Amino acid sequence: MPPIRDGLRSRSMFDNLTERFGGIFARLRSKGRLSDDDVDAALREVRLALLEADVNVKVTKQFLDRVRKRSIGSEVAESLTPGQQVVKIVQEELVTTLGAESVPLAAGSPLVVLVVGLQGSGKTTTSAKLAARLKGQGSHPLLVAADLQRPAAIDQLEALGARLEIPVHADRSAKAPKLVKEALRRAGAEGLDAVIIDTAGRLQIDIDLMAELAAVRKAADPDEVLLVVDAMTGQDAVNVAAGFLEHAQLTGLIFSKLDGDARGGAAISARAVTGLPIKFAGVGEGTGDLEVFHPQRMASRILGMGDVMTLIEKAEENWDEQQAIDAAEKLKTASFTFEDFLEQFQQMRRMGDVGQLVGMLPGASALKQANVSDADLARVEAIIRSMTPAERRDPKMIDGSRRRRIASGSGTTAQDVNGLLRQFAETKKMMKAFAEGRSPIPGLEMPGRRRTRKR
């Protein structure tokens, strides 16, 4: 539907790794039988792909040793499809490296979460995202601005709290441990059942940072101490996690900026090096862009197998079921209008970045070649919003002068408007044909239907 234009498309952090794995696995699957030399050659390529993705050398070696041990045994030799069996082994061992299964937050009444990390890692935003997530699950959280080293962090947290309608406890003149104790008393008095504490960070791990953190931890007695790690920092992320683990009694990791263009190795390495579960992943800049980290799903994404479960969950959270049913009925009767499309379009946009959504589909690396970006979708929305309500209901009334007005109002061209009108008409025709069980392409039979020859 969107008019496609050439241009740069943002890449997710695992795209390069996914493409490399895709090529390696395609060659494996093409072989009827696999010799030890075939397995070794494939694993050499896997090793290079992992190292180029910034995966820790020790983690890479341990991962490949496990894969090779299983791949040269009877598990593969006796398989009818040895190439696919090796792919399955790689997936299973990648899941093991990432942590086997998701680990929920600990229980607490109130639940007290200490959010720690270096300055610039995304602690403050992540604290707000976590509070928003808990609020969406029915909790009543309190955000605590305990980063007293950076006044801007307090301002930022107060602004995020106001936007999310979540109370923020702040006192610029207090010491951090005293502030935390006051916040806990407030939570008890006001019946708030989750306390998210944003702590101070530094540009590097130092004695002062750890001493302050120890004092805050003692005052808070938290159920969780979660380290926010910037996924863009590569191998340094592993060193940061190991440093905090030594001093801060961490219980888990949160990776921020997992939607960025880093190479992805930090996320794979940190879990294996620290032994700590990755509990959440930040996948965007919005306050709702914090996902539970599922190792099985992430391994599938990395290997190009998609993540349909997360896509379904996003749809369930953001899609109005009745509107979808109404839209389907309108498509059947060809009464689907641009107003209906705009409603569906807005629901789809609420699900997240279009590149991320495409990345959750199996075989996404091929689909991404279409290069549909959020900018393309924004142009479509701008064109539709520049139409009058009457024009949205009846696009046939849009003549040349109306096209020029719509183009001017949306910052596009008359050709863009023409292209959208044409695509919309063709899509309606195709969807109506599918709904009626007819082929949308003349001369092509629909599956399961047989054409009768006239006599």
The yes-or-no verdict on residue 430 having pLDDT over 80 is no
Select, from the ranges 84-88, 252-256, 354-358, the one with the highest average predicted confidence (pLDDT). 252-256
252 versus 209: which is more confidently predicted?
Answer: 252
The lowest-confidence range among 21-35, 265-279, 337-351 is: 337-351
The reported pTM is 0.64
Going from the C-alpha of 108 to that of each of 14, 221, 254, the distances in angstroms are 35, 11, 19
Percent of the chain with pLDDT over 70: 73
Sheet holding 168-169, edge to edge: 168-169, 141-146, 194-199, 111-116, 224-230, 252-256, 278-282, 290-292
Percent above pLDDT 90 for the chain: 27
pLDDT at 207: 83
Residue where the block lists tokens 């009444």: 109
pLDDT of residue 11: 44
Classify the phi-psi angles of 221: left when phi > 0, otherwise alpha if psi is within -120 to 50, otherwise beta: left
- Under the banding of pLDDT at 50, 70 and 90, the label for residue 446 is very low
| Domains present along the chain, CATH in parentheses | 15-98 (1.20.120.140), 111-303 (3.40.50.300), 316-435 (1.10.260.30)
Which residue shows structure tokens 């091929």? 366
Quote the CA–CA distance of 187 and 143 in Å, as a whole number: 10
User: Where do we find the tokens 């596009």?
Assistant: 412
pLDDT, greater one: 439 or 185: 185
Determine the average pLDDT of the residues in 303-320: 54
Average pLDDT of the residues of the chain: 77
Whether 257 shows a pLDDT value over 50: the answer reads yes
Beta carbons of 151 and 172 less than 8 angstroms apart? yes
| CA pair distance 271, 87, nearest whole angstrom | 22
Q: What is the pLDDT of residue 439?
A: 43
Which amino acid appears at position 383 of this protein? I
Place of tokens 């961490």: 250
State residue 147 phi and psi, 5-degree precision.
-90, 85
Beta carbons of 298 and 98 less than 8 angstroms apart: yes
Lowest mean pLDDT segment, chosen from 44-48, 276-280, 372-376, 424-428: 372-376
